[in-house]
């Protein structure tokens, strides 16, 4: 079945440590996104990529980094500069265009601080 796979499901970060969240899709979508979900705050966009080797900052990019070396993969690194990283992280993909295509979501990674 086509879909988006996020791993790991749960992740713990020590202070000063960088951690990387994996996102892989086999939907052949060009566009991919990372969102952060906090209770009562909805989803906020961290980074997005419309095509391989290109990505753009979203609303809350500080303390995060991404790469897009392959169409299928869009890993997110939470750096030590992100002082409040505890959240549920969601990866999504879509057919690019003018925003009229629905986004398909993975099942998320829950990041906590040790």
Which residues make up the interface to other proteins (CB under 8 A)? 4, 6, 31, 33, 35, 40-45, 48, 50, 56, 58, 90, 92, 94, 96-108, 110
**Toward other proteins, which CB reaches closer, 14 or 98?**
98
Q: CA 98: distance to chain centroid? A: 21
**Toward other proteins, which CB reaches closer, 63 or 108?**
108
Across 7-19, b (16+ Cβ under 10 Å) vs e yields: eeeebebeeeeeb
Question: Cβ of residue 41: shortest distance to other proteins, in angstroms?
Answer: 6
Question: Cβ of residue 36: shortest distance to other proteins, in angstroms?
Answer: 11
**Toward other proteins, which CB reaches closer, 14 or 44?**
44
Question: Cβ of residue 15: shortest distance to other proteins, in angstroms?
Answer: 25
Q: Residue 74 CB: number of other CB atoms within 10 A?
A: 28
**Toward other proteins, which CB reaches closer, 80 or 95?**
95
Task: Give how far Cα 25 sits from Cα of 5, 6, 20, 35, 41, Å.
Answer: 6, 9, 16, 16, 26
Characterise 28 by phi-psi region: left (phi > 0), alpha (psi -120 to 50), beta (else).
left
Question: Cβ of residue 48: shortest distance to other proteins, in angstroms?
Answer: 5
């Amino acid at each position: 079945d086509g879909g988006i796979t996020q791993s790991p499901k749960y992740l713990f970060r020590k202070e000063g440590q960088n951690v990387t969240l994996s996102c892989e899709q086999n939907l052949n979508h060009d566009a991919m996104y990372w969102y952060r979900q906090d209770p009562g705050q909805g989803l906020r966009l961290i980074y997005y990529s419309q095509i391989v080797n290109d990505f753009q900052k979203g609303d809350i990019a500080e303390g995060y980094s991404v790469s897009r070396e392959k169409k299928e993969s869009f890993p997110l690194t939470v750096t030590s500069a992100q002082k409040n990283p505890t959240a549920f992280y969601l990866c999504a993909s879509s057919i690019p265009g003018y925003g009229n295509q629905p986004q398909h979501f993975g099942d998320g990674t829950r990041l906590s601080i040790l």
